[in-house]
Chain A
Amino acid sequence: MKKRNVCAVAMAGAMCLSLLAGCGGESGDTADNAFKIGVIGPLTGDNAIYGNAVKYGAQIAVDEINALGGDIQLALKSEDDVAAADTSVNAYNTLKDWGMQVLVGPTTSGSSIAVASEANADRMFMLTPSGSSADITEGKDNVFQVCFTDPNQGTAAADYISENMPDSKIAIIYQNDIDYSQGIRNTFAAEAKEKGLEIVSEGTFTADTATDFSVQLTAAQAAGADLLFLPIYYQEASVILNQAKTMGFAPTVFGVDGMDGILTLPGFDTSLAEGVMLLTPFSADAEDEKTQNFVSEYKERYGEVPNQFAADAYDAVYIVYEGLKAAGCTADMSYEDICEALVGQITTMTFDGLTGADMTWTATGEVSKAPMAVVIENGTYVLP
Chain B
Amino acid sequence: MTEFLNYLISGISLGSVYAIIALGYTMVYGIAKMLNFAHGDVIMVGGYVSFCAVFYLDLPGWLATILAIIVCTVLGVVIEGLAYKPLRQAGTLAVLITAIGVSYFLQNAAQLIWGTSTKSYASVMPGNLALGGVTIPYISILTIAACLIIMVVLTQFINRSKLGKAMRACSEDKGAAQLMGIHVNRTISMTFAIGSALAAIAGVLLCSSYTTLNPTTGSMPGIKAFTAAVFGGIGSIPGAFLGGILLGVIESMAKAYLSSALANSIVFAVLIIVLLVRPAGLLGKYVPEKV
Number of A-B contacts (CB under 8 A): 117
Assembled-state Cα–Cα distance A268/B55 (Å): 10
Nearest A residue to B263 by beta-carbon distance?
Answer: A209
* Distance from B52 Cβ to chain A, minimum over Cβ atoms (Å): 10
1/0 per residue, CB under 8 A from B, across A229-271: the answer is 0000001001100110111100000000000000001111100
A326 CB–B CB distance under 8 Å:
no
Question: Are A247 and B115 within 8 A (Cβ)?
Answer: no
Assembled-state Cα–Cα distance A17/B112 (Å): 9
Assembled-state Cα–Cα distance A294/B222 (Å): 44
* Distance from A11 Cβ to chain B, minimum over Cβ atoms (Å): 7
Question: Are B211 and A238 within 8 A (Cβ)?
Answer: yes
* Distance from A19 Cβ to chain B, minimum over Cβ atoms (Å): 10
A7-B82, A14-B109, A203-B260 known; A215+B119 contact, CB < 8 A: no
Q: Which chain A residues lie closer than 8 Å to B3 at the CB level?
A: 218-219, 222
Q: Which chain B residues lie closer than 8 Å to A48 at the CB level?
A: 115-117
Residue in A204, A219, A266, A268 whose beta carbon sits within 8 Å of that of B256 in the complex: A219
Q: Which stretch (B65-73, B122-130, B174-182, B227-235) binds chain A?
A: B122-130
Question: Are B112 and A18 within 8 A (Cβ)?
Answer: yes
Q: Which stretch (B5-13, B160-168, B239-247, B277-285) binds chain A?
A: B5-13
Q: Which chain A residues lie closer than 8 Å to B139 at the CB level?
A: 246
A214 CB–B CB distance under 8 Å:
yes
Question: Are A215 and B120 within 8 A (Cβ)?
Answer: no
A45-B116, A204-B261 known; A218+B128 contact, CB < 8 A: no
Assembled-state Cα–Cα distance A46/B109 (Å): 16
B135 CB–A CB distance under 8 Å:
yes
Residues in A lying within 8 Å of B, measured CB to CB: 4, 7, 11, 14, 17-18, 21, 44-46, 48-49, 82, 176-177, 203-206, 208-209, 211-212, 214-216, 218-219, 222, 235, 238-239, 242-243, 245-248, 265-269
Q: What are 12 sample pairs from A and B whose C-beta atoms fall under 8 A apart?
A: A17-B112, A18-B111, A44-B115, A45-B116, A48-B115, A48-B117, A177-B261, A222-B2, A235-B118, A246-B137, A247-B128, A248-B135
Q: Known contacts A242-B211, A266-B119; can you find 19 more A-B pairs with CB under 8 A?
A: A7-B82, A14-B108, A44-B115, A44-B117, A45-B117, A49-B117, A205-B260, A209-B264, A214-B6, A215-B260, A218-B6, A235-B212, A238-B212, A245-B126, A246-B123, A247-B137, A248-B130, A267-B121, A268-B120
